Homo-oligomer: A and B are copies of this chain.
Amino acid sequence: MAQDATKPIVERYLEDFVVGQTFTSGRARVTQQEIQAFAAEFDPQPFHVDPEAAAKSHFGGLCASGWHTGAACMRQLIERRMALRDAMLAQGLTPPAMGSSPGFTDLVWHKPVYAGDTVSFASTLVSKRPSASRPRWGLIFSRNMGTNQKGELVYSFVGSVFIERRPS
């Protein structure tokens, strides 16, 4: 993901994040082979590993484990964060430390992700606040969404992540 090094970095500290802002974070094509490999290791239900059984199931075709879709979304979110870090470093800025996530809520598998589907990810900032327990940190809450090539929402959840506060 190429970054324009002359573009100002907007999301550096908790104070820089704007509630309501949405960013898109790449897209992932999920192949039959990837679906079967992930499912064989982590979620070997017939509709995730066996195309014939999947065709006869209520899904009507081979589709990704929800955990696979979630992991593919994580990949896109992390790539964006890493690209932002690289852009800061290219401008001689010190990137803030990467925070961990305490968890998330309201995860919904809206539609199956079928073999060959392409899922685009986007993230809308829902709220933010200083951390009660960690003075150097704040928390942001984002609604993360995956949409397939037909424009159908396939996946959403509200994630939280620790973000450094601007040094005073």
User: Is B98's CB under 8 angstroms from A103's CB?
Assistant: no
User: Is B103's CB under 8 angstroms from A108's CB?
Assistant: yes
Question: In the complex, what distance in Å separates the CA atom of A66 from the CA atom of B38?
Answer: 16
Closest residue on chain B to residue A67 by CB atoms:
B71
Closest residue on chain B to residue A109 by CB atoms:
B103
Interface centre among A41, A71, A82, A105 (most CB of B within 10 A): A71
User: Is A42's CB under 8 angstroms from B71's CB?
Assistant: yes
Q: Could you pull out 25 A-B pairs where Cβ atoms are within 8 angstroms?
A: A41-B71, A42-B71, A42-B72, A43-B71, A43-B78, A44-B75, A44-B82, A45-B78, A58-B97, A59-B100, A65-B74, A66-B101, A66-B103, A67-B67, A67-B71, A67-B74, A71-B71, A100-B109, A101-B109, A102-B108, A102-B109, A103-B108, A105-B106, A105-B107, A107-B107
Residues of A within 8 A of B (CB): 38, 41-46, 58-59, 65-68, 70-72, 74-75, 78, 82, 97-98, 100-109, 157
